[in-house]
Every structure is written in structure tokens, then in C-alpha cells.
Structure 1
């Protein structure tokens, strides 16, 4: 059995305590850390693992044992320097690359899979940098965010995030992580979402417009789809919403966006591009 570095000892060597105001909550539960690399989908290519938010390297240590090469993106300059020093041997052996930067806008490497305890304040932008890459993912989020990612139509948690996630992947919550697994403790529990990349069972003519259209309709989630289409051209960019309504089936128009499955959003988006000019929207 591999003898991994102790998370508390890593923090002492790094000289950090964590700062909730900076979204720094260090995962210190060895059992959770040990399980995380194994939560990737079966058969995932582990030749180049990406970790976002390496912190003091407790998960990095385990990923080095699970994959051939690991790239860590760490925003904090001091922690990035610590990781290079603490893991000098795998860096020298070209098994570890440490990138100092903000993963929301730093160029991502050509990774094969990602296991990450994401900074919760950047959950949405990071999820939607990773999901379109079509790579297997095991990502830790706040439990509420994870619930919304995997929600089914007609449930309270179902929304824009659910549809957008399902567009790219088969996502499921595979582990709930209590707040006591972190130091300092966050105010909420967390969850690991496993994402198997998939091609959606429908076609969309313009992916960017499809996602914007979904966003627009969910601003009117409890209205009928008919009214949601008509009320949101400033968001969706649909120049002639009445033409889209005229072309759509009543079975879709009479529903609410909160009950509409992804395939029916896609059907409406196709009608929109066929029957109306599409502007940039919001």
C-alpha cells in the first residue's frame, strides 16, 4: 500500500491554515483523499491527469500514484511554489507539471481525465471549462451545486445547470463528503460528481446558441414555454419569437421550462434557428 503524505503535515510545511474568505478549505480526510482517484469512470485514460486547485498537494500525491503524468493548476503563487518544492522529484522526472494561474482563464493542457477538489466560488465557470473537453471527470462541488448538476426534469433542483451538464456528460453523484473532511470547515457538505462524456441524443445547429436559449427560458422557469420564448429575446437573441412559437408543437409550448427535458430544449432551439434570425443575446 502506498504511503501517502499526511495532509496536516503538508499544511504545516506549507505554512498555511486555509482562509474561507479566499475559498481555501483544505481536504484533510485521508479516506476521502484515497478514494478520489478511483471515482473516475471505469476505463478512464489516466495517462495525463489534471488537478485544479492543488493546494498543499494531498490529492496531488495520490494522483501521482494513479496516473502517468499530473498537471496541477494552482492560483496561489505561494502554494504553487510549495508544490514545486515538495514534489521536486516528480517534477524533475517530468511526471508533474505545476502551473501557477487561474484555471478559469488559463490554457488547459491536453489532459486525459480530471480529478479535482474545485474552488467552490468558481464551480460554474470551471465546470463549463471542463465539461466541453469531452474528458472523464471526478469533481468535488458544494452539495447543492452537485444536486443541481444531476437533477431530473420536474424536480426543484432542475435548471439551466442540469440541462447544460446533460448536454455534455452522463453525470452522477458518487460520494457525499461531510464538511468535517475539510479544514477550515465550510458551512455546507460537498459531493463528488462523476462525469462520463457523451454525445447528446439530439442535434443542435449552434451549441453556443442552444446553451444561451436554455439560459433564457429558465429565467421564466414557471411560465409556459410559449411565454418564456416570447419574453426572453433580449437574452436568447431570437429576433422573431412569435415565429418560433407558431412553428412549435402545443405539447411543448404548454409545458414549463422546469419540466422540459434536454431533447425538447434542443428541438425548440432548432426551430428557432430555422424560423428566426439569431442575434448575440446576453
Structure 2
């Protein structure tokens, strides 16, 4: 672990050196994330200008759920964004052959080759939104609550990572599964809203099939008294770990099925 931590630091340092050579691109990337997230929040505020609540959920309650979703997505975006490129950047081009020749875990190398600076803007927005919503809801935070929040955010990020890795692995058979990953990830937008506003079919899919419900809604339920779903909230870290194990084992299965571009 010490060796991999040192190597990751070297990868990240070199990546940021490259980014700083193009500072305007760096700035535009961060600002673009601000624009995207503010657009989503602006749309939400417009909706609540015309309604008092959404199936019994107030504006700041949904904003709190948004905040957890933003933070979890930021964890994935900063450190694991390169998973999106497995098909077209590594398998199709033959770069995976280069990685497999090194005495390092190939997945670690793919992940470490890119740190996505845009995610820091998302992290800042998520923290700000969560702080604003909790203040408006009159929440009081104990040290235990803060610790649980950190665990929930980390678990949320792990689920995003697991889903990304699982569907990106299909690139071993499809060459590029990016359209599939995009389609699946679009479902994560549903998890930014209370799951109770959806049909039982959608709730089932987002809970037991593609567990995006555990990236925002269920973790938020830990902090909302009287809303129910407490057991689902407490299960979030276990769902995250199970999802990662399944995704990684599927990745290893795909790796064994990989046929080199030189074969």
C-alpha cells in the first residue's frame, strides 16, 4: 500500500504539472462544473417557485439530498474519472497492452494516470449546498453526525466508482462501452430527488439493480428524523463495499477475456 500511495502521488504530481501548463484550460474546466451544477440548482429553484412541496418534500430537504449527491460524485470525478476512457483510450488504441507489461495493478495505473481537477469545483459546490440546506433545516451537527456524513459521502463515491467500473468493463467485448456507461449514469439524476416520488419499479431498480439510491437519497435519510428508510441509510457503506467487490471481480473477468490488439 505504501508503494502504491507513493506512486499515485507521483502520477498526480506529474498530471498537475501538465495541467498548469494550460492554466486557462484548467480554469475553464473548473468553471464549467460550476455552471453545470448551478444550472441544476437553478432549475430546482424554478420548480419550487411554483409549488410548495414535491410529494411532501420541501425545497431544502431536496437540496440536502443534492448536496450529498454532489459530494459523492466529486469523489468519483476527481480520482476515478479515467474509468470513462477504458474503451476508447486503452482497449481500442492498444494502450492496455503497454499497461499490462508493467509490474503494477493495471486498474491502478488507469486510475492514477488522470486526476480530474474539475471535480474540486463540484466538491466545493456540494459542501456549500449541504451547509446551506442544513442551516435552513435547523440541523445541529455532533461529531458523530459529521463522521457519519463523511462515511456516507465516501460510500456514495464508491458506488459511483463501482457502477462506472462495472459498465466500462463491457469494453472488453464491445470495444467501447462509453454510450452504455453514459446511459446508465443518467439514471443517477433520479437519485437526487426523493425516491418516494417514483413508482415502485423505479425504486426497485435504483435500490437493488443499479444502486444509485444509495448515492444520495438513502444516506440523507439518516439525517431526516421521521422520514423512514433508516435501515437503508445504515446499509449504505455495506452496499458500497459489495458493489465495489462485484465491479472489481467483473473487471478481472473482463481482463482475462482481453485479446491484445497484436493478437
TM range (shorter): under 0.3
Larger Rg computed on CA atoms: 1
More strand by share: 1
Could you say which structure has the higher helix fraction? Answer: 2
TM-score normalized by structure 2?
0.27
